[in-house]
Structure 1
């Protein structure tokens, strides 16, 4: 489900915001890798979906 959202973001050009956020985070921590950053963002998306589906 999250992979589908990421793919849709790619098609719609919405990854520009994600990439801009990554660059800002990378400026604060030069050891941060894109793969790790994307993993954290995907986990946050999953958490948001879980909260939404549980009705909280």
Structure 2
């Protein structure tokens, strides 16, 4: 999975997982948060309608 910052292409967050599921999506979102620790900064996420994107952990 990857996350792209359009203002700083060099700070792309990329992580490989053997499978995509709700747990790995949560881990990936945590990696994004580590890269952008300013909690006042908005992060826009675009995801599809897969079940793992709707899971409640």
Q: What TM-score do the two structures reach when normalised by structure 1?
A: 0.29
Structure number with higher strand proportion = 2
Greater share of helix residues, 1 or 2? 1
TM-score calculated relative to the size of structure 2: 0.29
Larger radius of gyration between Structure 1 and Structure 2: 1
